[in-house]
Amino acid sequence: MALTQVSSSKCAGGFQKVFEHDSTELKCKMKFAVYLPPKAETDKCPVMYWLSGLTCTEQNFITKAGSQLAAAEHGIIIVAPDTSPRGCSIEGEDESWDFGTGAGFYVDALQDPWKGNYRMYSYVSEELPQLINANFPTDPERMSVCGHSMGGHGALICALKNPGKYKAVSAFAPICNPMQCPWGQKAFSGYLGPDRSTWEAYDATVLAASYSGPQLDILIDQGRDDQFLSASQLLPDNLIAVCSEKKIPVVFRLQPGYDHSYFFIYSFINDHIKHHAKYLNA
């Protein structure tokens, strides 16, 4: 699978790059960002996958989150894909900001006209890691996943659906129980259809209730002044309740004064990378 380099900038001693490739899962050209720390010049490095939220591309995280210094310090490659297929000419894909383009929700769609292209779950959990491991100096056994909002949902489900695959997982303001919130219900109805039993495979709260894999230490940061928390889009209490029942360790930090923005992510990204490094570099 051929990669085309779109950009490369020296950053924190390493390189922040963007590549484009033809995706077999999504049947379109896709871009992803990859940060290569200085250590990658001489050694194989672990990989942290970052999954972004609604409306984002591969650019938001690499320009706003300030992750590169910590990634350089801990010798971690960070891969940040786009949030949906692009330019598939599907009717309705650009009609709303929370469905279609920029809103793939990290599911494999079951409904027409989405099911041919909208396979973001398989893309981020299978195709992309294979592509990264084939083209960059990675240790395929050491990978982790992190994300924000819709991407926090994506990170949690990737870890819970693949016991042992990801050494660590964390999230910023994740959509914890999409079956119960307006964003999730809109996306799941459109991509997966009316049968709610198909939705359960992509809901972190439901997946946590049946998780039986190796211990997963989850770190979640949530801004207390997040407008989507008060609008009941995120529902972290539902996930925390299930995790405490199942004895899945969760560190949940409600951060006073912070909202849903990248200013919030920037403020705590170092803690998250440190959390991942603890397990990736063990």
Active-site residues, by number, are: 149, 226, 260
Q: What are phi and psi of 239, to 5 degrees?
A: -70, -45
CB 219 within 8 A of CB 174: no
Residue with tokens 């959509």: 175
Q: What is the chain's length?
A: 282
CA distances from 24 to 28, 117, 155 (A): 8, 9, 21
How far apart CA 100 and CA 10 sit, in angstroms, is: 33
State the Cα–Cα distance between residues 12 and 35, nearest whole angstrom: 10
Give the span between the Cα atoms of 156 and 174, in whole angstroms.
Answer: 8
d(CA 27, CA 151): 21
**Could you give the CA distance from residue 99 to residue 74 in angstroms, rounded to a whole number?**
36
Q: Quick check: 68 and 10 in contact, CB under 8 A?
A: no
Q: Quote the CA–CA distance of 12 and 8 in Å, as a whole number.
A: 13
Q: How far apart are CA 1 and CA 263, in angstroms?
A: 36
CA 55, CA 148: separation in Å to the nearest integer? 12
